[in-house]
Structure formats: structure tokens, C-alpha cells
Amino acid sequence: MEFLSFKFFFEWFVVIALFLFAIYTMLIIKNEKKTYIKNAKEKMFHGFKLLLPEWWGEVETHDTHLLMFKRLDTRYEWVSQFRYTEATAPSSLSIQELLKSIIEDKKLLFDQDTTIITNPSDFKKGALLKTGEFEMCRVEGTATMDRQERLYYDAFMIRHLTTGSTLFCESKSSVLNGLVEGPYFEEVVERLEYKN
């Protein structure tokens, strides 16, 4: 009888501990967005000002036209890249065609039911698109890369209307980790500013 009562109390202790841990985790996640803005790091990149979460660690690339970030404080399968391409004149391709060509080069095959390609209206309130100097297109969803790796992929193509220069922003993660850093990647792109 004594054994049963110990087991009973131990099981309830575990259940209550897990419940309290879940509440604590929800509170941390709820406040992370405020923490991101408050502690954001500024990074200038070819005239673009990025506000980055403090937990993003920059990965050395030896390429002045590429910025790469990983979350170095966890083992999330996630990486973010920002690639700048200079142009002297606008391309004859539409921004959607330009984005599709990059996706094809990366050998990404998107799931039809979970993928969207848009001109994000939400981002029109951001400082970058308010200038009227840029256009933007986005693709987001689950995909298979090179016919073997499943991932959650989010990418933005941003093009300067006058020069044709582009900033390609992408976030790749395992399908399970797609929702962890995705909102912060989106927030970084939404808060982009251009300092000519």
C-alpha cells in the first residue's frame, strides 16, 4: 500500500511539473517577440539595415555578398541567408519569374497544398516598401530539396526598381522546426530599411 501511494504521488508530481513547465514555456515564447525588438542587433549589409534577434549567430562565409545566420544556442536545424546581387539595369524577368528561377536552381520541389507565392501585402507597411523604390515577392511552404531532404522553406526576393539589384532572403529548417524561427525571420524582413 505504501508503494502505491508513493507511485501515485510521484505520477501526479510529474504531471504537475510538466504542466508548469508548459506554462513557463508559453510565457517565454509570448515574451520573446518583445525581447527580440528590445535586444535586436543592427547589421548593415549593402545599404540594408537588418534588425536581428540577439540569439542569431553569424556564420563566417568569406563572401561579401552573403550573410548567413544560425541559432548557435540550440541544436535547431535552421539556417538563414541574405544574398545581395548587384545589377546595372533591371532584369527583363518579373520578380516572380526571378524567384522561380532561383527555386529551380536550388532543386526545390514544393508541396502544392502548403505553398504560397505572393507579393506580401503585409509588408507594404514596412519602411522598405514604403519608399516606393523596391518590389518584393515571397514563397513559403514545405518542400523537398534535391529529391531527398524534407524542409520548411521561406524566401523573399527584394528588387530595387531602378538599379535591378536584389536581396534574396531565405530561411531553411527541418519541417518540425519551421515554426520556431520563421516568425523572427519574417519580422527581420518586414523591418528591413534601406539607407542609401
pLDDT in tens, 97-115: 999 899 889 888 888 776 6
| AA letter at 118 | T
User: Over the stretch 62-92, which tens digit does the pLDDT of each residue have?
Assistant: 999 999 999 877 777 889 999 999 987 667 8
Which candidate, 124, 132, 135, places its Cα nearest to that of 167? 135
Round to whole Å and give the CA distance between 147 and 10: 47
Task: Give whole-number Cα distances, 69 to 33, 58, 169, in Å.
Answer: 18, 4, 11
Quick: pLDDT tens for 117-146: 666 666 777 778 888 899 999 988 888 887
DSSP string, 30-82: HHHHHHHHHHPEEEEETTEEEEE-TTEEEEP-S-TTEEEEEETTS---EEEEE
Torsion of the alpha carbons at 170, 173, 177 and 181, rounded to the nearest 10? -30
Whether pTM exceeds 0.85: no
